[in-house]
Structures are given as structure tokens and as C-alpha cells.
Structure 1
């Protein structure tokens, strides 16, 4: 499960400045004015050659028009810091606050631009969970992506999904039997998803139809979703849940082992599976992932304590 928000970032070399440079102040001010005037041709003319190749005029107009339509005009912009030689700004739109990274080449032309969700400076990172967890399902499940290296787990490359799991059910080396275009053919589809610990339900997304296997829904990234908050302010996200299967509501306190929903195929997923991740905040868009360990589980038939599953593991709760 991966999706960039607004991305175009070209190569940036290392720099040594520690405050906003005057050339950036001037060019960024012009960029904001052109954006608010909806003069996207003028923004395009601020690009250098490589940027124009990467983001042609038509794409530039679409990108900034969509941004203006969804967030409104810019009312305030503040320099935050440097990221290598690029300048990072806190941008206040009418409806939201975002971060904008800008890189200018030696001719003061825009050579890199990135607009992302604003991440507050006071967010505390979570290295791993301290709350004791069970696996959030019955039966034996297969860890398709899991671990702390990119070889084991592609999520590691994405800060907000770092160390997340994609877990499904495999039998005889396959995840389905019968017609691969039917969700019901997949062993994981419709299986119960349970609470791994006592927690509060702090977010529910529902109403997303399950995909036909092989088709994606990048506009509703996590599909039907539940986020739990532990007493230690750890946030556990469950994504791609089955349409109309969620049985909990926001604000509800639940006990370990309680039914949450069923495994589905909603959102940006190609087949039924559970996406499971630990976050340091409720909002996945600004989160940093943490390592999710389980207190006492069977791993490939052997008892493991305080264990972080990795790609290829077959995992199951003790006595469940």
C-alpha cells in the first residue's frame, strides 16, 4: 500500500546554509503570488530545463489547479528549515497546512518542488510497542511483507508505513483456490480480525467497496480502516477491511480479542490481505511507523516471545 501526495523532487546537492536565503525569499514569494492568481503558466516559466521536462505545462496546470481547488489559496508561508540545499516552508492554505520543499538551481530557477502533509515538530517517535500484543486474527497466517529491511519489507522505504505488515493466508504455496477474480476464492477474505490489545477505537473508515482482485483503488488508499489507540499512545492501523464488516465505532473501548471486522480487499490492494502497522500518531499522512512486536506467538510452529515477524513467517496465536 503506497501513494505519494504531491511529489516532484529532483536531485538536490548538499548545502551548508542554516537560514532562508534572499533569493529563495524572492522566488517563493513570486510562486505564492502566481498560485493565488491561478497563473500556472508563470509558475511553469519559473522551472529550469529539467523541471520542465519532468513536469510539462499541462501537468503543471493540472497539479496546481487541483491543489488550489482542494486546499484554496495560500494565506501565509513561513520558512522552517533546510533539507540539504532545499528550503522547507510551512504553507497555510485556506483549508489545511502543508509543507513545501523548494530547490533553486544556480540561475534561481526551480529545480525541485515537493508539497507534503505538514508534520508537527513535537511528534514523538515510537521505536516499538510497549503494549503487549496478540496477533489480530485466528488460524495460521503468512507474512508476505514484514521485517526491518527493504528486502524483507518494502514498507521500510516509506516513513509513514515503516515496518508495516502485509499478511494473508497461504495453503500449499498459494493464497486462493478457484476463480482468481472472485474475492471469495482467497483464503483470507472474510476472516475475522480481532483486537491485539485493550484499546480505544479512534478512527473508522467504512463504505468502501471491495475491489475485484487485481484492480486497485489508489483514491481510497487504506480502504475500510480501523485505528486503535493504546493507553501508551500507540496507534495501530488495520487497512483493506471487508466492506460492511466493521463492527466497532469511534470512541468505543474494546478488549483484547474482541471482533473488529473481517479481512477484505478494499483500497489500494491487489488481493485480500491485512495491512497492519504501528504509528506514532492517528493521521497516517504525517505518521512515522514503529516496530510491532507480539508477546507470545507460534512462528513456523515454534514458540517465540516478544517477536517481530518477518517475510515468510507463518504465525499463529497460542491457544487460539
Structure 2
């Protein structure tokens, strides 16, 4: 494995780590779309929950606005130049409980449609030949444009629920090309290490 590409955490506050490559590779069950080392961060409230416990969480879909992290600021995790800034896709309903299984069954259709259908609203930053993608951003929240120079901590958008996402979160991965339909995955770390699955990051 190549040396990991180190990033800053792209947020502040409390976030839950999911699908971490610290626990398995490929972290999302596939090496397609340069996702072998991808990681998800789910924003949580002070009590550690990603959303209030409600009856509708078990029997139906929920509006993304119900989740405490929907709309939280997402920050540049690396110095670099914006290659892609896409933010017009709608945020869809969130799925928990049994409904998430039904949503997962439709993932193949989105994968067939390619990277953009999976990533949803996204910002792609090139840094020293590595391309870092931040995905599932909130509709119309992207604050940057292609060609813009970024510094770690600059705001890029807000946490959303676009693309292949069951609840508001930010998905981060890196590749050796801006074309994630064909790129090879690049391993990543955050502040020098890789958080484990279910770990709480509190910044």
C-alpha cells in the first residue's frame, strides 16, 4: 500500500465514523470508483445520536432536516485547487431501520449511472497530484468554483443528503485522477492517523 495522503478533518463539532478503512479494505465493500479507502463521517448531537428516535424512523422515510448535522459546515481538508464543484442535486429523504435495506437494494442502479450519481453534490480538490472528493453535500450549498485555490479550513459547502446516501453525512475519498469512474484509490489519514469505525471525532 502506498503511503497515505494526510488530510485535516473537514468539519468541527461531533461526528461519528462509519465505514472506516481502519477496519476493512475496501471500506465500502468495493474497489470501484476509487472507493477502497473511502470513509464516512456522520454528524451527531451532543447525546451521540445522528437523529431523534421517532416512530417514523422505523416505518418510513424522514426529511433530512430532522437530522442534527444537516447543513453543518464542511471545510477544505487540504491545500489545493478546486477541480470540480457541483451542487445542484436535490437532497432526498433519509432512510433508517428497515427502509434503509430497501434503499440499499437500489444502489446498483446508481452505480450503473456512474460516479456523479453516487457522489451527489461534491467538491473535488487537487493537491500534489492527489484528488480529494467530499460528497453528498447539501443542495445549493457549495461555495467554491473550479479553479479556486483552497487553504485547509476554508468553507466549501454544507453537509447534505444527496447522491448515494441514507442519511446526512460527508463521504471522503482520494484518487490518482479526477475521473473517479476510472481512478485508483489513494489511502488517506486524518491529522496523522485513521479513526476506527464507530469512533466519535469531537473537534
CA distance in 2, matches of 1:126, 1:187: 36
Is residue 221–residue 268 contact of structure 1 (8 Å, CA) maintained in 2? yes
CA distance in 2, matches of 1:316, 1:291: 22
Aligned residues: 179
Q: What is the Cα deviation at residue 156 of structure 1?
A: 5.4
1:164 corresponding residue in structure 2: 38
Q: Does 1:312 align with 2:173?
A: no
CA distance in 2, matches of 1:165, 1:308: 10
Higher RCO (C-alpha under 8 Å, 6+ residues apart) = 2
Q: Does 1:267 align with 2:143?
A: no
Is residue 145–residue 311 contact of structure 1 (8 Å, CA) maintained in 2? yes
Is residue 139–residue 316 contact of structure 1 (8 Å, CA) maintained in 2? yes
Q: Runs of at least 4 residues of structure 1 off by over 6 A?
A: none
CA distance in 1, matches of 2:28, 2:175: 13
Q: Does 1:192 align with 2:192?
A: no
1:141 corresponding residue in structure 2: 15
Between structure 1 and structure 2, the one with the greater Rg is 1
CA distance in 2, matches of 1:249, 1:308: 29
Q: TM-score, normalised by structure 2?
A: 0.80
Q: Does 1:293 align with 2:183?
A: no
Which stretches in structure 1 are left out of the alignment for 5+ residues? 1-124, 296-305
Is residue 238–residue 274 contact of structure 1 (8 Å, CA) maintained in 2? yes
1:228 corresponding residue in structure 2: 125
Is residue 153–residue 311 contact of structure 1 (8 Å, CA) maintained in 2? no
1:64 corresponding residue in structure 2: none
Q: What is the Cα deviation at residue 126 of structure 1?
A: 5.1
